Structure 1
Amino acid sequence: MLAFFGWSLLSIGWSEFKSVSLFSLGEVWLPIAAALILALTLPKHLTRQMFWLLAGAFVLSGIIIVMELRTGLALRRAIRMRADPFIFNRPVLTLLMLAMPLTAWLLGDQRRGAVWSLALLLFLTAVVIQSESDAAVLGLAIACLTFPMAWFVPRVTFGLAAFAFLVAFCASPLIGPIAARLITPAMHEKMASGHSKERVELWQSFGFVVREKPILGSGFATSPRMAQTTIAKKVPVEHQRMLNIGHPHNAALQIWVELGAIGAAIAVLIVFLTLRMVWQLPHLTRCASMALIAGAGPVALVGHGAWQGWWAASLGAAIIWMQAASRFQTETES
């Protein structure tokens, strides 16, 4: 992680928008630093009562989201607040991340934990389906599939996870052309709500950027201003328009674009080291942690920008709660 931070900082030297790069560096690394400090100090102080508070806040948040969306955000419109349905995508993704440690705690520390966990996941499913976040639907489906796989065939699950992340990073510079060939017009029509056609065009455009600076990248967090860079002028004219979107909606591709092959290699190493550390966790926590990783990975590969602070904070919160859940499991076993 320190190597990745150092390379990100160094890349600002060749960024064409250094102020943007510095701002984004703070946006993502301050939450990461805070999560690290809290992960080292807070889990031992989190009690069962605090987990129940988390569960209550989880349910209340889901109810508010569903009620807002079902009423067409009538309350927000009435008080002249922002009333776009997609504003709930980030809270829904945060709930998805927090559902994994909550599930681990319910299964490891509560009577009828399996029943409570199933109820929690069904409730989350209802919230996710009601939302406009197709990324959350994908993440939840893969997380729910990964948990039982990690429980019954852990070695296979870890092997598949490592392979999937390796393929995702190696193929991301070419994901645009690959997706353009594999996804038919009929498939695009069915996935229209997820803007699949626009995503493919976006991946193609940023893929051309990678070809221009494949080793060093264009500099940390230059994606929001990519259309204004000298690199953009070298991209074929028909693909320049999509560079105005702000980011490629694919974290692996964004790392390639901004930090080049060196940044991508460090990122893959971080993933492998993380998987190795997760393997050493107690069985239940290991399964829930793999579900968390499996849910977060697809979201990062099709959704938001890689350096958004709320996403780093959501993952950090999930990790902290997962550590506390693991402590209760250890105490129960002893």
Structure 2
Amino acid sequence: MNQTSSVATRPAAGSVPARLAAIGAALLLALPLAMWIANRSAPLMLALAAAAFCAAALAEEGWRPSLHRAAALLRGPIGLALSGFLLWSLVTIAWSHRPLASLAAWGEFALPLTCGVAIAASGRFRPGPALGRALAIVVAVAAVMMMAELATGLAIRRALDIGRQVTYMFNRPVLTCLILAPVALAALPWQGPSRRWSIALAVPVVLAVAWACLGSESGAAGFGLLVMAAAAGLALLAPRLAWAAVTLGFVATMMLAPVVGRLGDAALPAALHERLANSHSRDRVDIWLSFGEATLARPIRGAGFGTSPTLDRHPVAAEVSPPRRALLAVGHPHNAPLQAWTETGAIGVALLTVAGLALLMRLRSLPGRDLAPRLGLFAAAFAVAAVAHGAWQGWWIAGLTMAALWLFRLPVGSDTGDRAA
């Protein structure tokens, strides 16, 4: 995730392009706070930031350089694999039972990715140490504000009668803070005279995010936090071993997703399900069994992108055994790899696996201190996606896109230091 060589020239301070780029950076910084206020707002913030950065690039150098940079990004292995998945997903809508709903789901998935490419191609997003510190502060503040609201029983929202006044409404913003926390830590300068200030800032960030992950109702956030800590810690101690473990886990989870319900049913005893009752482990296994049957009914092409929300009304439901058919109405399988299998089949899963492996290959040679936040983020995000929300939800894709953008722009190895990020 080191920076590309084709970087645009920096506009003069105070110029229109510089001001537009500053607006774009401010919008990205505001994303965690926006998610605290409105828990689906990440795609909007990313889109507004993309518009600002693209306007800055257009004002400074016209559209051709940005177009060339976008083409270079899309020609890489990750770009080709993700583009192929987007195209194949669009094709699968042809056999969806609700094409318009599937197309809307495809747009929700594609928009944040497109905005990420646009921001990267603009060449105007340059997160220096000041922005890294600002991101760390914003993530910590957002996490603390969510926990403060939970502690007061959402008193302010109830008094103002705004929004959905349910405690699980913070699950999405807590997960957003989780995936942005390693980005904030990696963006801080860890060498030179600023190291002491970075440590002083990192401690409250870690404590605030851990508090939010473990104290909120999001069991997935707590699970993701533990996975992140384990992967990042092992990467610091044994980088190659950590990389191999995460890579093997990623490939195995992608490949075994259609039978994850059977594996969980056989491996997890009833006593363990009782201890994990708050995490609904038994319910998840039953849902995985149902969607697994639907996947195996159409293993190559899938049921069509975006069909999970109403899979019980899809023709594939008739091929699922009656005891399992009812759970196809839950909305999604709470497992992103399984959802990819169910909707896009082996072809879509192969493209996503290639994209993930291409990303992991870019991380393989990084030293431990650079690998730790990146591998921790990858492992935690994949772990959360494998047990929690729908795979294509825009807020989740937007958060991951922002995290990838930021880490992509950070220098690695000997380039890190006070001029890091």
Same fold (TM over 0.5): yes
What is the match of residue 282 of structure 2? Answer: 197
After superposition, residues 231-310 of structure 1 pair within 5 angstroms as: 231-281=316-366, 283-310=368-395
Deviation at 1:43, TM superposition (A): 6.7
For 2:416 and 2:136, how far apart are their aligned partners in 1? 21
What is the match of residue 401 of structure 2? Answer: 316
What is the match of residue 98 of structure 1? Answer: 180
Question: Would you say 1:111 and 2:195 are equivalent positions?
Answer: yes
Q: Tell me if structure 2 keeps the 8 A contact 1:105–1:328.
A: no
For 1:108 and 1:252, how far apart are their aligned partners in 2? 36
Letter in 1 for 2:417: T
After superposition, residues 1-334 of structure 1 pair within 5 angstroms as: 1-41=82-122, 44-81=125-162, 82-106=164-188, 108=190, 110-112=194-196, 113-114=198-199, 116-281=201-366, 283-326=368-411, 330=415, 332=417
Q: Tell me if structure 2 keeps the 8 A contact 1:218–1:259.
A: yes
Deviation at 1:326, TM superposition (A): 3.0
Q: Tell me if structure 2 keeps the 8 A contact 1:32–1:316.
A: yes
Q: Which has the higher helix share?
A: 1
Q: Tell me if structure 1 keeps the 8 A contact 2:171–2:216.
A: yes
* 45-54 vs 203-212, greater mean Cα deviation: 45-54
How many residues matched?
A: 334
Could you say what secondary structure the match of 2:171 adopts?
A: helix
Q: CA RMSD in A?
A: 2.0
Q: CA 1:107 to 1:196, structure 2 compared with 1: closer, same or farther past 3 Å?
A: farther
Letter in 2 for 1:166: V
Letter in 2 for 1:233: A
Letter in 2 for 1:25: W
For 2:335 and 2:177, how far apart are their aligned partners in 1? 21
Gaps of 5+ in 1: none
For 2:349 and 2:413, how far apart are their aligned partners in 1? 36
Deviation at 1:273, TM superposition (A): 0.6
Q: CA 1:216 to 1:295, structure 2 compared with 1: closer, same or farther past 3 Å?
A: same
Q: CA 1:151 to 1:43, structure 2 compared with 1: closer, same or farther past 3 Å?
A: farther
For 2:120 and 2:227, how far apart are their aligned partners in 1? 26
Deviation at 1:46, TM superposition (A): 2.4
Q: CA 1:41 to 1:279, structure 2 compared with 1: closer, same or farther past 3 Å?
A: farther
* 130-139 vs 105-114, greater mean Cα deviation: 105-114
Q: CA 1:126 to 1:43, structure 2 compared with 1: closer, same or farther past 3 Å?
A: farther
For 1:243 and 1:76, how far apart are their aligned partners in 2? 34
* 124-133 vs 78-87, greater mean Cα deviation: 78-87
Deviation at 1:147, TM superposition (A): 1.2
For 1:102 and 1:28, how far apart are their aligned partners in 2? 24
For 2:328 and 2:349, how far apart are their aligned partners in 1? 21
Deviation at 1:253, TM superposition (A): 0.2
For 1:149 and 1:43, how far apart are their aligned partners in 2? 34
TM-score calculated relative to the size of structure 1: 0.94
Q: Per chain length, whose mean CA-contact separation is higher, i.e. which structure has more relative contact order (CA < 8 Å, sep 6+)?
A: 1
Q: CA 1:7 to 1:167, structure 2 compared with 1: closer, same or farther past 3 Å?
A: same
Q: Tell me if structure 2 keeps the 8 A contact 1:105–1:326.
A: no
Gaps of 5+ in 2: 1-81
Letter in 2 for 1:111: R
